[in-house]
Amino acid sequence: MSSGYTLVICEKPDAARRVSDALSEGESRSERVEGTTVFRFNRKGEEFVVCAAQGHLYEVSDPARERTVYPVFDVEWYSSDLVDEDSASAARRILAIRKLASGASKFVNACDFDVEGETIGYNLLRYACGEKEKSAFRATFSALTEEDLVKAFDDLKPQEELGLARAGRARHAIDFVWGVNLSRALSQSALGSGHRYRTVSVGRVQGPTLGFLVEREREIRTFVPVPYWKASGAFERDGMKLTAGYARDRIETKQTAEKIRGECVGREAVAAAVRRNTVQIGPPVPFNIGDLQKEAYRAFGYTPSRTLQIAEGLYLGAFISYPRTGSQRLPPSINYRSIIRGLGKVPEYSAHAAELLKGEPKPAQGAKSDAAHPAIHPTGEKPKHPLEVSELAVFDLVVRRFLAAFGPSARRELVEATIVVGEHQFRLAGGRTVFPGWMKYYGRYAGYRDVEVPLVSEGERFKVIGVALEEKFEQRSPRYNPSSLLEKMEKEGIGTKATRADIIATLVGRGYVSGENMEVTDLGLSVVETMAEYVPSIISTELTREMERKLEAVEGRSGSEAELLRETVRSIVRQLAELSANEEAVGREIDSAQTASVAKSFVLGKCPVCKTGDLRIIRSKATKKRFVGCFNYSNGCRASAPLPQKGALRTASKPCERCSWPVVYVAGRHPWRLCVNPNCPGRRKP
């Protein structure tokens, strides 16, 4: 081997800094190469240079990159700046890595150890370093702590042995040809219907995911609530009053409900059965990324993509382990005692840590595992600088979940009493925690509340002093939220732990779904319904799931990526043929939904002045500025108002509480809310 340094490629600049700090024991020096920062140091007599990518620096694309051309099957990897003009920094980074590669004699891929990280590293080694992907070494670690990094670099593995890259590259290629061909075909169909070009996008996982939302949306919009009644009895004995619900949760008719009341009021009731039993509730299993995203949504309302972003920040700060993991298991090799001891230095956790260290810590383990990484866990490193509120929240959740996994089972006493009045039964139910066990460590996230039940003994007699009847209506199914949609995708086996959150965000970005309550727009409805009618395979969950299985087989080296790519091409050709046969009908339906959707986006709401026209966003022909005006102008309504000239506008679901004019959200670096009425009494005086 010729003399030269070892070039280490990390996935992100923060990771590069941590790697160099850990390996150089703080003796590294930073320098600038082509405007990017790299680190240079010596370790055990060997010179190292550590550089970083910034996510994917190469992307799959077609040579023509012409949005009207399809089918496209001849795809290649290009540097990101050629695919996306906004990625100029990618070119600089590639140039820096290419320059550094010329002086290197050994290469180490130290990107995140998963499909995406492997693909990023592989592409840089192949294209920027000059086909070093096979001779390079791989550093694998699950946390950016000094201990983990030193261990990883002392135990470098040949790159080829650990190749997830083939699967990653195949996934990117499949997703590209799938998305680009069908999206271009759909957009062209809509264009053929006579309106201007607008992109209609569908993706391999996006289609079925939108399908779940549409199915639920139809259920909600065609829901007719049916009435029923609930009854609860009021009982009294020696001045003690208690209330118990009727044993049947749902009384179908008003007549039956009134009959129950008539047959109970004033009669004697007997406590017939009082059952108390204690149940054990085992500790929760450690977090994988899906569980963390769901729990963060439940606890803080964070969307899955936000949680992932925060967790990645905590990982880069070395506070938690690698978050994109499917594992719910913590192997002993992470050194439980050392992590718990580290957490003991943080005042909030010191008492819990001391308690757990008294025994031999052994965590609860979940069923899911991941060959690459353990479950998400704290590294035991104390944050050296104050964390942001959201970072602190997710960090606290991860720490408490980790500690809870080591806790003993909790015990809860459940009480159920039945009170009988003639033929009718009423029930009292409650429960309380008698031994908190792991709940003490999990704190407020444990989510069990005590509901005390009055002390009632079997055979005790009461007087029925009243029966309240309450008219209720069936509740419609709730819309999916980002967390429940993620759960549905997991359950259906579509997407990956790394991509699901982004797919959900894309559906919002494409205008198929609006807001956090995930209401499907007319455009989203139309895309799914049209596909269901003419090209059902585009939204087929089964087809997507099957593709995921085959991609996993490629990852596990039991499948061939070349065969999978051929199969994808055959499938797309079939779909394009189906689309082509129905091009006119598909185009007409999508174009009409697009037009309606664009028109609707300009309507802010009813005019509060004339009460009949719509207030719309209008662009002045003279000044080219946008403003709000009533469309009832020709009938004399002069309601109008200025609008901010920058930032996308989204109408709030409710008008202003003070003046009933529409409210808009103005997008930008600092999004803000605005009542469009310039004379709104709620506006602050200058």
Partner 1 sequence: MKCPICGREAAPELCRYHAEAKEKIQAAYSLWMKAYGNIEWKDFLDNVKRNPQTGQWVKEIAELLRG
Binding site for partner 1 (CB under 8 A): 218, 220-228, 252-255, 473-476, 529, 589, 592, 596
Q: Provide the 10 A C-beta neighbour count for residue 653.
A: 11
The answer to whether the CB of 136 falls within 8 A of the CB of 163 is no
Q: Shortest gap between Cβ of 596 and partner 1 (angstroms)?
A: 8
Q: Can you give the C-alpha Rg of the chain in angstroms?
A: 31
Closest alpha carbon to 145 in 293, 342, 8 = 342
Catalytic pick among 322, 349, 441, 442: 322
Closest alpha carbon to 129 in 109, 111, 110 = 109
At what angle are helices 304-316 and 500-509 packed, to 10 degrees? 130
- Give residues with Cβ within 8 angstroms of 621, minimum separation 6: none
Q: Shortest gap between Cβ of 218 and partner 1 (angstroms)?
A: 7
Structure tokens at 272: 């017939």
Q: Is the peptide bond before 71 cis (omega within 30 degrees of 0)?
A: yes
Q: Shortest gap between Cβ of 593 and partner 1 (angstroms)?
A: 9
Q: Provide the 10 A C-beta neighbour count for residue 593.
A: 21
Name the percent of the chain in helix, strand, coil, to the closest 5: 40, 20, 35
Closer by beta carbon to partner 1, 24 or else 256? 256
Alpha-carbon gap, residue 327 to 290, rounded angstroms: 10
Q: Shortest gap between Cβ of 221 and partner 1 (angstroms)?
A: 4
Closer by beta carbon to partner 1, 255 or else 278? 255
Dihedral-angle region of residue 257 (phi above 0 means left; psi in -120 to 50 means alpha; beta otherwise): alpha
Closer by beta carbon to partner 1, 362 or else 654? 654
Q: Shortest gap between Cβ of 354 and partner 1 (angstroms)?
A: 51
DSSP character at residue 264: H
Whose tokens are 């309240």? That residue is: 468
Q: Shortest gap between Cβ of 491 and partner 1 (angstroms)?
A: 25
Structure tokens at 538: 């585009």
- The dihedral built from the CA positions of residue 155, 160, 165 and 167, taken in this order, carries a sign that is negative
- The dihedral built from the CA positions of residue 435, 437, 442 and 443, taken in this order, carries a sign that is positive
Closer by beta carbon to partner 1, 68 or else 253? 253
Look at residue 632 and give its three-state secondary structure.
coil
Closer by beta carbon to partner 1, 67 or else 221? 221
Furthest CA-CA distance within the chain: 100
Closer by beta carbon to partner 1, 226 or else 389? 226
Q: Shortest gap between Cβ of 533 and partner 1 (angstroms)?
A: 10
Residue 416: C-alpha distances to residues 272, 278, 279, 376, 457 (Å)? 11, 12, 13, 39, 11
Q: Shortest gap between Cβ of 217 and partner 1 (angstroms)?
A: 9
Q: Shortest gap between Cβ of 200 and partner 1 (angstroms)?
A: 17
Closest alpha carbon to 578 in 206, 192, 182, 75 = 182
| HSE-CB for 19 with a 13 A CA cutoff | 30
Closest alpha carbon to 374 in 385, 384, 363 = 363
Closer by beta carbon to partner 1, 317 or else 655? 655
Closer by beta carbon to partner 1, 1 or else 224? 224
Tell me how far the alpha carbon of residue 452 is from its chain's centroid: 37
Residue 315 bears catalytic tag: no
Closer by beta carbon to partner 1, 254 or else 345? 254
Q: Shortest gap between Cβ of 656 and partner 1 (angstroms)?
A: 21
Structure tokens at 494: 């579509």
Structure tokens at 397: 């959740």
Alpha-carbon gap, residue 287 to 366, rounded angstroms: 9
Closer by beta carbon to partner 1, 255 or else 620? 255
* Strand 5-10 relative to strand 46-52, pairing: parallel
Bridge partner list, 537:
none
Bridge partner list, 281:
410
Alpha-carbon gap, residue 176 to 284, rounded angstroms: 39
Closer by beta carbon to partner 1, 226 or else 367? 226
DSSP character at residue 658: T
The answer to whether the CB of 375 falls within 8 A of the CB of 326 is no
Q: Shortest gap between Cβ of 595 and partner 1 (angstroms)?
A: 11
Closest alpha carbon to 343 in 329, 361, 331 = 361
Q: Which residues are known to be catalytic?
A: 322
